[in-house]
């Protein structure tokens, strides 16, 4: 069979178009505006459970209390408890910086990928991919308010993802440098406390982290050079053992046993497998067909363009083993996604809450990008790169999916920023009313309602006229009242 020769001139590999620039800009604006909206967040729901105990007993006693009485997520309790020592605005800034840190980590991770593959202008290409990947995950979140705008949700499920992304990028960078034995020992020494912290936020994130570290070790063993293996194997093995230890600490926590009594007993192994498969398929269907199909197709298109245009040298290897490679990537992605959902099947016999879908969503988009790249590189053996009809078809498809994906996501982020600003204003109004009531010595307090109630849209616990509702009780406990109500 006659195939087209590879086209590898610089001009052909650096054909950034206005469509790529607009897609990247829309994605970046979505990230920045969402981060800006996050800084309007303040305490809601479970966030009120920490300050009084910290003031009364201290940070570490508070961490110990929740570890012994609710769950083993020790890192989440540390962060939540330390936050209470600062002004309430610090909580909002943490959430915004977490999102920007996630984007920065994705940029660094793609930069490492670009350096390894040999793309030209790796900083620019990695900026494009890091921005689109992060924005696509944001666009596909099941409930953005309980994931990025609620402190308890973001800390437990987004912070550990950020930690994993930075660690993966660091390992790649460290292996490329071919460090000395002393540097490797230092890296192992720093990895252990870092991974112990990252692995302590939530059981879905920890299970995902363990599988990710195992797959990184396998990938290094199969694909890494001898110097890279000598540098990275000790770091990855130390990380894996640390993560396994963290999972044991979470599982044996007295609080984990207590919390388990609120859910059905753990089913048998076969039922766990059945539920894990069911929840994984449910997630894949919702994410790809309902929540963010346009953004995902845009990511697939641009990843295919990268393989078609940016892959250096011959693509024969990718073309020859394309089905094996895409099959391996798909299986690895499914294993990572299923690992998170297996914890819900085991502990609750139910689907994970919306905020816990962040790491599976990131994994899905990363796997789709990798498969798209391989498909694009394989097409280069069969299609001439400079056919006008190809460029027009590709450019038109990018514009359509750019408008329906990042374009609408940007509009949504602007709307969310306005709502979060309203919530912030109302939060401080109610805070002022409660402080004034404290000064007057009142015990039963009436406050105004939220025009946009974050507690309602995030976790369905609105501030109401019923003093026995959860948010009403949380406010009364935090401010020291007998009751708090908000009439219609």
Burial class (CB in 10 A: 0-12, 13-18, 19+), 340: buried
State which H helix or E strand residue 361 sits in: helix 358-379
Give mean pLDDT in consecutive 10-residue pieces for the chain, a chain of 488 residues: 40 64 95 98 93 93 97 97 96 97 98 92 92 96 96 97 98 93 96 98 98 97 93 97 98 94 92 97 94 94 90 80 95 98 95 96 97 90 67 87 95 98 98 97 97 96 96 94 96
Nearest to 485 by CA among 430, 403, 438, 425: 430
Show the tokens assigned to 487.
């009439």
**pLDDT at position 249:** 97
**pLDDT at position 313:** 75
**pLDDT at position 192:** 98
Torsion angle defined by CA atoms of residues 262, 278, 284 and 373, in that order, rounded to the nearest 10 degrees: 120
pTM of the full structure = 0.94
**pLDDT at position 8:** 39
Assign 3-class secondary structure to 96-154: HHHHHHHHHHHHHHHHHHHHHHCCCCHHHHHHHHHHHHHHHHHHCCCCHHHHCCCHHHH
Q: How far apart are CA 488 and CA 482, in angstroms?
A: 20
In sequence order, what are the residues at sequence separation of 6 or more whose Cβ sits closer than 8 angstroms to the Cβ of residue 463?
430, 447, 449, 450, 453, 455, 469, 471, 472, 475, 484, 486
Q: How far apart are CA 147 and CA 361, in angstroms?
A: 12
Q: How far apart are CA 167 and CA 159, in angstroms?
A: 12
Q: How far apart are CA 264 and CA 234, in angstroms?
A: 40
**pLDDT at position 384:** 63
In sequence order, what are the residues at sequence separation of 6 or more whose Cβ sits closer than 8 angstroms to the Cβ of residue 187?
174, 179, 234, 235
Show the tokens assigned to 92.
């909002």
**pLDDT at position 14:** 46
Which CA distances in Å does 399 have to 165, 292, 363, 409? 29, 16, 25, 14
**pLDDT at position 393:** 85
State which H helix or E strand residue 242 sits in: helix 226-251
SS3 485: strand
**pLDDT at position 11:** 41
Q: How far apart are CA 346 and CA 340, in angstroms?
A: 11
Secondary structure letter of residue 44 according to DSSP: -
């Amino acid at each position: 069979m006659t195939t087209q020769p590879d086209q590898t001139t610089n001009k052909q590999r650096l054909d950034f178009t206005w469509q790529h620039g607009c897609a990247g800009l829309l994605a970046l604006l979505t990230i920045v505006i969402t981060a800006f909206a996050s800084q309007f967040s303040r305490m809601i729901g479970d966030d009120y459970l920490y300050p009084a105990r910290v003031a009364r007993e201290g940070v570490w006693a508070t961490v110990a209390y929740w570890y012994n009485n609710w769950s083993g997520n020790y890192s989440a309790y540390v962060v939540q408890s330390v936050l209470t020592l600062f002004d309430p605005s610090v909580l909002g800034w943490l959430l915004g910086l977490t999102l920007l840190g996630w984007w920065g980590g994705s940029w660094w991770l793609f930069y490492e990928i670009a350096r390894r593959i040999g793309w030209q202008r790796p900083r620019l290409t990695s900026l494009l991919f890091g921005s689109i990947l992060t924005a696509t995950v944001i666009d596909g979140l099941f409930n953005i308010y309980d994931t990025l705008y609620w402190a308890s949700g973001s800390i437990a499920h987004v912070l550990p993802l950020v930690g994993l992304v930075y660690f993966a990028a660091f390992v790649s960078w460290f292996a490329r440098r071919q460090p000395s034995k002393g540097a490797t020992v230092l890296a192992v020494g720093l990895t252990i406390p870092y991974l112990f912290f990252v692995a302590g936020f939530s059981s879905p994130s920890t299970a995902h982290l363990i599988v990710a570290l195992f797959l990184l070790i396998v990938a290094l063993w199969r694909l890494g050079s001898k110097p890279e293996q000598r540098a990275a194997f000790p770091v990855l093995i130390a990380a894996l053992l640390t993560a396994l230890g963290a999972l044991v600490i979470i599982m044996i926590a007295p609080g984990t046993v207590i919390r388990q009594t609120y859910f059905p007993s753990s089913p048998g192994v076969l039922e766990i497998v059945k539920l894990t498969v069911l929840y994984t398929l449910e997630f894949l269907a919702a994410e790809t067909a309902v929540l963010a199909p346009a953004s995902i197709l845009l990511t697939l298109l641009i990843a295919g363009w990268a393989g078609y245009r940016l892959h250096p040298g011959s693509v024969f290897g990718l073309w020859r083993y394309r089905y094996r490679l895409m099959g391996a990537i798909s299986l690895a992605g499914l294993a990572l996604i299923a690992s998170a959902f297996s914890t819900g099947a085991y502990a609750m016999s139910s689907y994970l809450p919306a905020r816990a879908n962040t790491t599976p969503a990131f994994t899905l988009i990363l796997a789709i990008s990798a498969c798209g790249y391989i498909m694009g590189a394989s097409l280069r053996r069969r299609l001439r790169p400079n056919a006008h009809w190809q460029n027009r078809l590709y450019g038109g498809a990018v514009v359509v999916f750019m408008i329906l994906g990042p374009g609408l996501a940007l509009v949504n982020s602007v709307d969310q920023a306005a709502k979060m600003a309203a919530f912030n204003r109302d939060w401080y109004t109610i805070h002022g009313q409660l402080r004034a009531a404290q000064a007057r010595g009142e015990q039963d307090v009436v406050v105004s309602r939220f025009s946009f109630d974050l507690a309602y849209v995030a976790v369905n616990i609105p501030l109401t006229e019923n003093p026995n509702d959860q948010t009403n009780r949380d406010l009364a406990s935090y401010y020291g009242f007998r009751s708090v109500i908000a009439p219609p």
